[in-house]
Structure 1
Amino acid sequence: MLSKTSPVVDIAQLRGWIGREAIGVDIVSEDLVRKYHATFNFPGEPPKPGEAVPPLIHFCLAQPAVPTEQLGADGHLARGGFLPPVPLPRRMWAGGALAFHGDLKVNDAVKRFSRIEDVVLKEGRTGALCFVTARHRLEANGRLVLEERQDIVYRGLDAPARVTNVPQAEQGDHQRPMKVEPPLLFRYSALTFNSHRIHYDRRYATQVEGYPGLVVHAPMQAALLCNYATELRGAPPSRFIFRGLFPLFDDDGFALHATDQGDMLKLWTAKENGPACLAAEASWT
């Protein structure tokens, strides 16, 4: 286990990253769509050229590609590029908000404009927490299709106190039992070019970062819920927000839940007889 000594966080230095920008380009290729379709077990044939692709597939697009030797010990990109060099060792995708302005389609040429909006230091139950907010704007063939807020949280390696009396999640009006096993985690990591070792390296996840198993990606849970919302309403939402609540691991049985609230769906993932792990809202206004 790595040392649990909390490093000093120079928040003034980190806030110097506010306003930093980056641009990424990509193609919504037929190959990517075919593999994404297979990964999530969508029924029927994958979309064909010119047809709309599933929402949140953009998490697979325009990802940074640096030489493997430049990755950190946790598999992430070495810090200090677009994202600020927060010295806290654990980095997690905490949540996000998305506004859809149009469909991404097979063979679209995509350009993503990204900007660091805020960096905030807080004190949590286990020590320092640093929150980084990034804004992304996605264009396809020159037309705006998506605006996104991405929330990232950094914290130390100190294992959180054993949480007791965690309320059991509610049961949704709609439910779908799920099981996320290592092959699915590996496939999603590959599609998103995410080399964070907590998602595929069990020894690292358990012995170095102290987790009880492989960690299920927050954006993958969001994609599962957004796909579920699209299926239930027959069309993808115009807005989708999500927030991580509790970690989910590969050996956890869990379910997708949804409850109708007028023109909105309240959604969440929840462990069997356990807490909600990721909460979301989808709306069609």
Structure 2
Amino acid sequence: RGGFLPPLPHRRRMFAGGRLTFAAPILIGSTVRRKGEVVAVQEKTGGRGELVVVTVRYEISDQRGLLVAEEQDLVYTDSPPQPPQPGSSEVPDAPWSESIMTDEVLLFRFSALTFNSHRIHYDRTYATGNEGYPGLLVHGTLTALLCAEMLRSHATRPPTRFSFRTTAPLYVGETIQLRGGPSAHDAVRLAAYRDDGAVAVEAHATVG
């Protein structure tokens, strides 16, 4: 569940979204401090039963002050996974376009990089037999990072804000279709689609 998160037994944890603010660059060789705290716990009832939404805030700072602030929205639910709903449209065209094929190696490496030991990302037998998923689940944070990497590759100015939310599951073996482009003077819209057109992650950024 995470070292200091609220004790919520018998619930599955899902990463629902996040928001990041980049106040200043992190300099190589500097000493930084990372502070985390639970800032909100909300109980909600929806079509899939009772949910608990936990918002965690992290701040990274050095002697100059705040460098990066991040808020993560984590959803805890006791409802079983729902079968993937097919998309209703084709993947749209966009100024920026990339395709990423997912496989077991990609998921394992990202789990190791982020110290994520949840077996739904690397143990197929556990993911399908114990958790009820149709296959290995692609990390929502990995998909969001791929959106951010597309922004870094194409934008001419660095981001000052980046936000995302997960909207549909992706499973290993699927191709992530990344699309993005400017939506206003300082704004960028990005999205990750499944091959059937369903939006898996949608993201927004401000550059400056």
Using the size of structure 2 for normalisation, the TM-score is 0.91
Whichever structure has more strand as a proportion of its residues is: 2
Q: Distance in 1 between matches of 2:55 and 2:102?
A: 28
- Aligned-CA RMSD value: 1.9
Kept in 2, the 8 Å contact 1:213–1:251? The answer is no
8 Å CA contact retained: 1:205, 1:214: yes
Of residues 174, 177, 192, the one that matches 1:269 is: 192
Instruction: Tell me the secondary structure at the aligned position of residue 269 of structure 1.
Output: strand
User: Percent identical across equivalent pairs?
Assistant: 36
Partner letter of residue 280 of structure 1? A
Aligned mates of 1:162, 1:97 — CA distance in 2: 26
Distance 2:5 2:39 in 1: 11
- Deviation string for 1:241-269 (max 9, x for gaps)? 00000011111122111032121110010
2:60–2:68 contact (8 Å) kept in structure 1: yes
Match of 2:201 among 278, 281, 284: 278
Partner of residue 104, structure 1: 26
Task: Give the AA of the match of 1:115.
Answer: E
Q: CA deviation at 1:188?
A: 1.0
Query: Is the CA contact (8 Å cut-off) linking 1:135 and 1:150 kept in structure 2?
Result: yes
Change (3 A) 1:200 1:106: farther
Q: TM-score w.r.t. structure 1 length?
A: 0.68
User: Is 1:215 aligned with 2:137?
Assistant: yes
CA distance, structure 2, for counterparts of residue 132 and residue 91 of structure 1: 10
Runs of at least 5 residues in structure 1 that lack an aligned partner in the other structure: 1-75
Higher share of residues assigned helix: 1
Q: Which runs of 5+ in 2 are unaligned?
A: none
Give the structure 2 partner of residue 20 of structure 1.
Answer: none
Matched to 1:201, the amino acid is: D
2:76 corresponds to 1:136: no
**Farther off after superposition, 154-163 or 83-92:** 154-163
Aligned-pair distance for 1:106?
3.3
1:275 maps to amino acid: A
Once residues 202 and 169 of structure 1 are traced to their aligned partners in structure 2, the CA distance between those partners, rounded to angstroms, is 28
Distance 1:192 1:134 in 2: 16
Match of 1:124 among 46, 49, 72: 46
Aligned in 2, Cα 1:253/1:165: closer, same or farther, shift over 3 Å? Answer: closer
Q: Report the alpha carbon displacement of residue 164 of structure 1 after superposing the two structures with TM.
A: 5.5
CA-to-aligned-CA distance 1:27-50 (integer Å, 9 cap, x gap): xxxxxxxxxxxxxxxxxxxxxxxx
Alpha-carbon offset, residue 274 of structure 1: 2.5
What is the rounded CA distance, in whole Å, between the counterparts of 1:201 and 1:248 in structure 2?
16
2-side partners of 1:279 and 1:178: how far apart? 16
Q: What amino acid sits opposite 1:143 in the alignment?
A: G
Distance 1:249 1:272 in 2: 12
Matches for 1:228-247 after TM superposition, within 5 Å:
228-247=150-169
Contact 2:12–2:78, Cα closer than 8 Å, also in 1: yes
| CA-CA distance at 1:90 after TM superposition | 1.0
SS for the counterpart of 2:142 is helix
